[in-house]
A and B are shown apart, each in its own frame.
Chain A
Amino acid sequence: MLPTVLVYGILWTAINSLIAIGFYLIFSVAQILNLAHGMIIVGGCYAVYVLAAMVKLPLAVSVVGGILSTVLILLIIYLCFIKRLFSAPHSSMLLVTAGLAMIMEQIIILTVGPDTKFVPSMVTGSSKILGVGVSNQGLLTVCIAFSVIALLMLFLKHTKEGRAIRATSQDRDVAVMSGINIEEIYWMAVIIAGMLAGIAGVLVAPIQTLTPKAGWEMMITAFTATILGGLGGPIWGVVLAAAIVAFIELFTAFMIGPAIKEAAAFLILILTLMFKPSGLFGKRRA
């Protein structure tokens, strides 16, 4: 059991991290709690499915299409809805993003159907690691996910724009006073988050069976990892938090039953909110 948990834990850490970091970026930089983020990822999955299985485009084209579609959806949501709500009470933002998530879920159900779908893998075959069978798709996922995260960390650490993004996420007012163009930073955060969501969607689509409902669960995973990692904290904090969530979920799935693994994630969320609301590595008060 232990090797299985280890191997699949790393796989789900990679996926959860990608899901969470996009959510985390918008949340900590622009203070937008985007309840539609999970559904945007699912939108990316379904875009790949529609392009690859229904329109019958080559898989590489569909993958690019999936990533572009999430960036586009997130930009539309940002420009048409979120931007106009910055001055409104915070509850409007939650209501609108939740409503948008609901609309997207229903559109998927109406157009593609509510039943589970399968997306073809990018690579075929499987390998054995520590005596545990893993599909090559899973290995590819881990490689791509961690290199994307590493690239993002380098970008945030060493470029001028990256430093501006980090500064904004730690203290917006001081960032504005130091001459950072907040508008530009928000744009950048939204586009990066859209790309991360797209990559997450494209990678998760062949591994998991697709249902429209999965968007809510992804949002919850992202939120739990973000809170546990801490707002304004480093990216690797979120990755570590995503790893904690992944491993605890897997252990519960093995010990009690797979249906109840979300309850474990919820327990982590509750304990964090009760005892350390600023998260493990957070630099900001919750």
Chain B
Amino acid sequence: MKTLRKELMPISIMLALSIGLVSVVPISRCDYFIIGFLTSACLWIVYAVSWDLLGGYTGMLNFGQMLFVGVAGYTVALIELHFNIPRLFMILAGVAGGTLSSLLISLPAFRVRASYFAVVSLVLPLVFHRVTMTFIKLFGGDYGLNIDRVFRREHLYYAAIGIMAVTVIAIRLVVKRKIGMALQCIRENEETARAVGINVGRYKVIACMISAFFTSLAGVCSFYYMGHVGPDLFGLEGSFDVVIMCVVGGTGSVFGAALGGGILSLVLELMRPVAEYRNVLYAALLVVMMMVAPRGVWGLMKSLFRRRFRNYVQQGAG
């Protein structure tokens, strides 16, 4: 409860933001263009924030965040197409599938250096891509799997807002508690973490599962919104976008990642006309940010604010 009280400020910010986003629907008279954009922005923020739990806080770079989205999407799609069970169970199965798929990355990689994890996370989506392209009858090959619209778009928009708010608050709670401290300790020095009695392997697997859980939740929402899941999710581009969002916003801080997700999904929309240069500009942005401002926009803002504040205090004291 004590932590919850300390987190009152972020929770109220998220609540205000959610109310603001919900009110867009009546204000824009249910304009599907705006709603579509905001839905995808919310989902990108979820991906970025949950990536940050692994990449920013634990120091395990995941170059295949969209893998969870893809697995969750394919699970739901396959159940939708082949079984007739209540939809709630389908969603649960999708989320469970996505979460469990994180074990495929974390179990082989948690015993070894964090940098090996990055390569494993890079390879696994490729394998899934090949699997979907090999068993075309089941997975639909290049076309992926498609279903008819089952939910209204504004309802999915509300769901996306809810998922975003819950994710940001939940991950903030996680990183402010003991587990978050343990994860940051692992990032700074794994040997020390082991020496002070942190079960490094277990914490890594848990962090991976939490990250995958929220991502696949958003993934199921995204699947129902588009009514489509395809092998392009297992490509590098989507996962790279998530990484770049976090790096631009600021790794190792929940609000930084959320900020990056928000900014870059807007940029993504604005760059539609010059789509072919998008990837190269994004990658250049990643490299430049890493070389110039490795703490991201949020880190820059923070240090700026701190400097102002310090001057103010010093003047006051003098």
A contact residues vs B (CB 8 Å cutoff): 33, 35, 81, 84, 88-96, 98-100, 102-103, 106-107, 110, 216-217, 220, 223, 227, 256-257, 259-260, 262-263, 266, 269-270, 273-274, 277, 286
Q: Which residue of the partner chain, among A102, A259, A263, contacts B286 with CB atoms under 8 Å?
A: A102
| B118-146 interface with A by 8 A CB criterion | 118-120, 122-124, 126-127, 130-131, 133-134
B122 contacts A220, C-beta separation under 8 Å: yes
Pairwise interchain contact B112-A216, C-beta atoms closer than 8 A: no
Q: Is the CB of A84 within 8 A of B291?
A: yes
B24 at the interface (CB under 8 A from A): no
Q: Is the CB of A91 within 8 A of B287?
A: no
Query: What residues on B are CB-neighbors of A95 within 8 Å?
Result: 61, 243, 247, 286, 290
Q: 1/0 per residue B275-318: CB within 8 Å of A?
A: 01101101110110011001000000000000000000000000
Q: Specify which chain A residues have a CB less than 8 angstroms from the CB of B187 in the assembled complex.
A: 89
- Which single member of B118, B123, B284 contacts A266 (CB below 8 Å)? B123
- Roughly how many angstroms separate A31 CA and B116 CA in the complex, as a whole number? 12
Closest residue of chain B to A272, judged by CB?
A: B108
A102 closest partner in B (C-beta): B283
Binding site secondary structure of chain B: helix
Does B109 belong to the interface (CB within 8 Å)?
A: yes
Q: Is B114 an interface residue (CB 8 A)?
A: yes
Shortest A5–chain B CB gap in Å is 20
Query: A35 vs B116: C-alpha distance in the bound complex, in angstroms?
Result: 11
Contact B276 A277 (CB under 8 A): no
- Tell me whether chain A's interface is mostly helix, strand or loop, or mixed: helix
B294 to chain A, nearest CB (A): 6
Write out the residue numbers on chain B whose beta carbons fall within 8 Å of the beta carbon of A227.
116
Contact status of A273 and B115, CB under 8 A, knowing A81-B287, A95-B290: no
How many interface residues does chain B have, given as a range?
A: 35 or more
A33–B115 Cα distance when bound, in Å, is: 8
Q: Which residues of B contact A257 (CB under 8 A)?
A: 134
- Tell me if B8 counts as interface (CB < 8 A to partner A): no
Query: Which A residues touch B283, using CB under 8 A?
Result: 99-100, 102-103, 106
- Look across to chain A and name the residue whose beta carbon is closest to the beta carbon of B240: A102
- C-alpha gap A14/B120 in the complex (Å): 24
| Cβ-closest chain B residue relative to A80 | B291
Decide: A259 and B130 in contact? CB cutoff 8 A.
yes
B199 CB to nearest A CB, Å? 18
A124 to B124, CA, bound (A): 38
* Chain B residues with CB below 8 A from A263, complex form: 127, 130-131
Query: A213: nearest residue on chain B (CB-CB)?
Result: B236
Interface residue? B149 (CB, 8 A): no
Q: Say whether B223 faces chain A, with CB atoms less than 8 Å apart.
A: no
How distant is A264 from chain B, measured CB to nearest CB, in Å? 9
Distance from B57 Cβ to chain A, minimum over Cβ atoms (Å): 11
- The residues of A that contact B291 with a CB separation of less than 8 Å are 81, 84, 96
Contacts of A216 in B (CB 8 A): 122, 126, 236
Task: Give residues 83-114 of B contacting A (CB, 8 Å).
Answer: 107-109, 111-114
Could you list 13 A-B pairs, sorted by A, with CB under 8 Å?
A: A33-B115, A33-B119, A89-B187, A90-B59, A91-B115, A95-B290, A99-B286, A106-B279, A256-B134, A259-B134, A262-B126, A277-B112, A286-B116
- Bound Cα distance A100, B291 (Å): 12
Additional pairs, 6, CB under 8 Å, beyond known A33-B119, A266-B126:
A90-B114, A98-B63, A99-B287, A102-B236, A262-B127, A277-B112
A269 to B124 Cα, complex, angstroms: 11
Query: A103 contacts which chain B residues (CB < 8 A)?
Result: 280, 283-284, 287
Interchain CA distance A269-B276 in the complex, whole Å: 34
Residues of A close to B280: CB separation below 8 A: 102-103, 106-107, 110
Q: Which residue of A lies closest to B244 (CB)?
A: A99
Flag if B284 contacts A286 (CB, 8 Å).
Answer: no
B131:A260 contact, CB within 8 angstroms = yes
Interchain nearest-CB distance for A52 vs B (Å)? 25
How far apart sit A137 and B269, CA to CA, in the bound complex (Å)? 48
CB distance from B311 to the nearest CB of A (A): 29
B55 contacts the other chain (CB 8 A): yes
Least CB distance from B243 to A in Å reads: 7
Q: Which residues of B contact A286 (CB under 8 A)?
A: 111-113, 116
How many angstroms from the CA of A176 to the CA of B282 in the assembled complex? 39
Nearest residue (CB) in A for B60 is A91
Residue from A90, A96, A102, A259 in contact with B279 in the complex, judged by beta carbons closer than 8 Å: A102
Q: Which residues on the A side are within 8 Å of B115 (C-beta)? A: 33, 90-91, 93-94
Smallest CB separation, A224 vs chain B (Å): 8
> Chain B contacts of A217 at CB under 8 A?
126
Q: Find residues 46-64 in chain B having any chain A CB closer than 8 Å to their own CB.
A: 55, 59, 61, 63
User: Distance in Å from the Cβ of A23 to the closest Cβ of chain B?
Assistant: 11
- Please determine whether A273 and B290 come into contact, CB atoms closer than 8 angstroms: no
Report Cα–Cα, A93/B290, bound state, in Å: 9
Question: Which residues of chain A come closer than 8 Å to B127, judged between CB atoms?
Answer: 262-263, 266
**A94 neighbours in B (Cβ, 8 Å):** 61, 115, 118
